[in-house]
Amino acid sequence: MDVVRPPVGAGEPAVFVAVLRPLEVLVGGRPVKVPGRTRRALLTALALHPNRPVATADLVDRIWTGRPPRRAGLTLRNLASGLRARLPDGPGWRLVVTDAYAELAVAPDAVDLLVARRLAAHGRAAARAGRPAEAAVLMRRALGLWQGRPAADPAWPEFAALVEERLTLLEDRLDADRAAGRLDEVIDEAMGLVVAEPLRERLHLILMQALRDAGRPGEARAVYDQLRGTLADSWGIDPGPELQALWRSLADPVVGRPADPGPQDASVLMFRLRGFAEVAAGPEEEAALRDGWVGGISRHVEHAAGRLALVLGGTVVALFPDDPGGRRAQHAATAVRQAAGAAGPDPAFRAAGRVTCCAAVVSGPAPTSELLGGDAPTLVGVALDRCAAVLAAARPGEIVVVGTR
C-alpha cells in the first residue's frame, strides 16, 4: 500500500497526518505507528479539526462512543501525553490540551485535509476567474488525497461531513471539466454518479448541461424526467428552479429565450438560534460555534435549492423561489433539525442539545425579482414580517409552517 506523502513545497512538515484515508502518520517523511485505538481516535478527532479547539465533551463522545471511563478528563490527558511521546511538539506541530478543550495547532501542509481544502479553494477561484481547465486540474489533485474510506469512525458526524465535502468538490470538478469542453468524459462519469446519488440535484444539473452542450437535448430531458419522478416519490417535491429553467429551455425551440416567470409561490425560512454565549468559553469560541451552525444551515438550504439572505446574530433567513406550499423550505428545516439531533450531530452543529434552534416557514405568492437579487437576494413585505412573527412564538426544536394567503 502506498504511503500518502505530503505535497512538495518549500519544506516537508516535521509531522504529517492523513485522515482522508485510514489514519497515516509520517515523521520526517517516515511512517510512524500510533498504537492503541483510543490514542488513534484522539489524533483523528483533532486532525479532522486542525487549528480549531475541540471541546473535551466532544472528544469524549468520539473516543468512547457514549460510554466514557469514570475519569474521562484524566484519561484524555494521559492519551495526549502518549501522543506527545511519539509526535513531540515542534515547528508546525503542537498539541494543546486544557480542561475545556484540546487543539492540534499545525502548519498548512501538516494534515492532508488542510492541503485538500487549499487546493479546492484555489481551484474554485480559478473557475470563478474563467480558467476551468486549471480549476479542474487543481480540484483533481485535491480529490486525489481522498484514498479509500476516511479515518473518521463511520458513526462520527465528521464521516458524513467528509463524504459530503468530497461529493461537493467532485461536482465542482465535473462542472469545471464541462466548462473546459471535456463533455464525453463528464457525461460518462456523471451518468454513473447519478445512479449512485439519485437525489443529488446538482449532479443531474451538470449532466443535463453536458448533454445539452454535446447536442443531446433529448437525453438531457430524460435525465430531468427521471429526477423529477425520484424526487416526487422520495420527498414529494419538484426539481429546483435552475433545473426547471434548464428543462424549459431544452423544451423551447428558441433556446435561451428569456421568459417572464410572473408571480410565483415562494417561501421564507427563518431560524432562531440561542445558547451560544452560555455554551462557549469566550467570544472567539462563541463566534466559531455560530459560524459553524450558519455554515451547516447554508449547506442544507442550498441542497434544497434555496439561498441564505440574511444572518443577524442568532437569526438566519433563507429564501426559496418557486416553492409551492413551502415544501423545499420545510425539507431544509427538517434536515437541519435531524443533522443537529443528539443521535448523530453534524460537526457543523457543535454543542447540539445545548444550543436551541427553532424554525418558521412562510409561503405565498411573491415576484421573482424580490427573490433573485443577484449575490444578495432580498425579500421584503408581508412574508418576511409574518415569518418573524411566527418564529417569535415557536418553541425550541419546533418547525412552524404557514401561508400568506
Domains of the chain with bracketed CATH = 15-106 (1.10.10.10), 112-251 (1.25.40.10), 263-403 (3.30.70.1230)
Question: CA-CA distance, 88 to 35, in Å (whole number)?
Answer: 15
Q: Confirm if 217 and 207 have CB atoms less than 8 A apart.
A: no
State residue 381 phi and psi, 5-degree precision: 105, -150
Between 404 and 311, residue with greater pLDDT? 311
Alpha carbon 22 to chain centroid distance?
Answer: 21
Q: Which pLDDT does position 380 carry in this prediction?
A: 44
Q: Confirm if 320 and 304 have CB atoms less than 8 A apart.
A: yes
Return the minimum-mean-pLDDT range out of 9-23, 71-85, 229-243: 9-23
What average pLDDT does the segment 373-394 reach? 57
Contacts of range 63-70, beta carbons closer than 8 Å, 24 or more positions apart? 63/38, 64/38, 65/153, 65/155
Reading phi first (left if > 0) and then psi (alpha if -120 to 50, else beta), residue 388 is in: alpha
Percent of the chain with pLDDT over 70: 84
State residue 132 phi and psi, 5-degree precision: -65, -35
pLDDT at 292 over 70: yes
Q: Which pLDDT does position 252 carry in this prediction?
A: 55
CA dihedral 388, 393, 394, 396 (to 10 degrees): 110
Q: Which pLDDT does position 154 carry in this prediction?
A: 87
Entry pTM? 0.65
Alpha carbon 398 to chain centroid distance?
Answer: 23
Q: Which pLDDT does position 160 carry in this prediction?
A: 86
| Strands 54-55 and 93-97, sheet pairing | unpaired
Q: Which pLDDT does position 136 carry in this prediction?
A: 95
Return the minimum-mean-pLDDT range out of 183-197, 201-215, 374-388: 374-388
Return the minimum-mean-pLDDT range out of 88-102, 182-196, 218-232: 88-102
What average pLDDT does the segment 275-296 reach? 83
Give me Rg for the CA atoms of the chain: 23
Local confidence band at 8 (pLDDT 50, 70, 90 cut-offs): very low
Q: Confirm if 378 and 309 have CB atoms less than 8 A apart.
A: yes
With both helix axes pointing from N to C terminus, report the angle between 132-143 and 112-128 in degrees, rounded to the nearest 10: 170
Q: Which pLDDT does position 64 carry in this prediction?
A: 86
| Of 355, 283, 277, 358, residue with least CA distance to 315 | 358
Return the minimum-mean-pLDDT range out of 64-73, 195-204, 330-339: 64-73
Between 291 and 379, residue with greater pLDDT? 291
pLDDT at 219 over 60: yes
Between 113 and 323, residue with greater pLDDT? 113
Give the bridge partners for 271, in sequence order.
Answer: 316, 359
pLDDT at 264 over 80: no
- pLDDT, tens only, 325-366: 788 888 888 888 888 765 445 677 877 777 888 888 887 765
Total Cβ atoms within 10 A of residue 188: 10
With both helix axes pointing from N to C terminus, report the angle between 56-64 and 72-86 in degrees, rounded to the nearest 10: 80
Q: Strand, helix or coil at 226?
A: helix
What average pLDDT does the segment 117-125 reach? 94
Question: CA-CA distance, 62 to 82, in Å (whole number)?
Answer: 18
| Of 246, 397, 269, residue with least CA distance to 328 | 269
Question: CA-CA distance, 217 to 254, in Å (whole number)?
Answer: 13
Q: Give the highest mean pLDDT range of 181-190, 303-312, 368-377.
A: 181-190
Between 269 and 340, residue with greater pLDDT? 269
C-alpha dist (Å) from residue 207 to 15, 22, 103: 41, 32, 41
Q: Which pLDDT does position 392 carry in this prediction?
A: 73
Q: Is the dihedral of CA 33, 38, 43, 45 positive or negative?
A: positive
Between 184 and 70, residue with greater pLDDT? 184
C-alpha dist (Å) from residue 346 to 103, 247, 258, 278: 19, 33, 40, 20
Question: CA-CA distance, 329 to 346, in Å (whole number)?
Answer: 19
Total Cβ atoms within 10 A of residue 342: 7
Q: Give the highest mean pLDDT range of 1-5, 23-27, 69-73, 157-161.
A: 23-27
CA within 13 Å, CB half, 319: 27
